[in-house]
Chain A
């Protein structure tokens, strides 16, 4: 079983997690930009964070043979902060051009404020201008209304539904998304959001088309192996191996391949780790990295 983990905040995880994920079958990770638990007060700290997603995290992942991609955005919480919002979005085009940036995200609503709506819309325009899909966060509180407003905004600005991944769905919201053509994300968490058993029930009810699982692991109580655990539960629940593969591998790849920057066959090769590989005398290679 190969897993494409489409939403993991590895920035806040230790290197052992990459190893555990690799052991569980994770071959690729997409890390969306988010907030860091504490508000940032300077645009520069966002840019350093984006650089870490593009550089350091990719390097850490590569050590375990895991391909690391990212999505870049001003997150919904900090969209409310006038110290940083405009400056971050102004700097984004430079990052959206980068190799390995497969989407704009996480954008969306959190408290559903006017500022959130402004920067959500502005970043959908950026996604469209760069030919990128959008990874969309939905609120923890008043989620159903948040999803409704998200879908309304997507329609209002004419953003193609199949290029939107509406994330953190639950039993109350999946029905709103199912007929729109958007991709539907589910964050499987130890306590909140969604768990393995409920997820399997949802897949039995709604099918596997455009359904995407993630662990959304971050610095809170979360588990980077939740996609693997849910896949196991799917098998026990009677899903075929092909159905499981569709949900944990093919669906996320199909979504992010819309960026034009992800080719499934490229995932068969080992990611770039260092410049010594082609010199024919690699000591690192000898260490079995």
Chain B
């Protein structure tokens, strides 16, 4: 009898030990965390044996960047730069120089359609503080001369603004953060992950079933219906970002004012587009690029956006989906890397351009 009891206990011990020591299957082991940062809600799902540690390292990375880039935290590097007009960067703050250089490059490429110095105008509309108001034209006329991305100077350990200028990294910071997550995923050997940083998605690897991640594009005409999509992008190892006039807005005297401010006019961009989605591979810098381009192309409008996409070899760099006010969905994809499945029930007319 003693032998049988010993046998039973040994089997139990082995089974439990075996259960605990079974290596996590990278296809099923996963961790999901939700983070409220950068004025948005983020959901990060990581897979693999080190998925919990990787997910929380992602949160740490995002918090670090938020502490640098926030415009509302008075202690952030950006706030101190805005307050003083120039800033010596500590070793921990050199990442600010990196994002400012990228922002400067996108300012040049887009002819000023992307401009981080639009900050004072954005504040005048109340989008920074949620105290929305329509500024007087005289106020816009006073602020618009301050909007000039070429006046920002960056060195390895210093940054400076033009007189009276301030910057807002809201149209690039989340994309930059998505790019930083790639570093974390590599470090933690994450085989696959999906990071949704509030309109910025990083599709890392593919889904556990081996198919690409399916990322829907919200129908701007029905922003309150989560099931209403203009189509679905199939993404693997890619960034995708959507900028849309429906995402943040207020109404005054029966008129709607959205948050994407045209740096040229100081007013919400009136370009005939309701949303712009930009997707690109996970090469370094592309997260910020997608973020910045989605804003810039929204401001440009369909014609200039297509011209921009076709020029400077940009067509080989990114794909884009434009949704127009007149009910069309324009899909521009020369790479063929990201399949787009239209939602035929949406009522839109779909066009593919090359």
A binds B: no
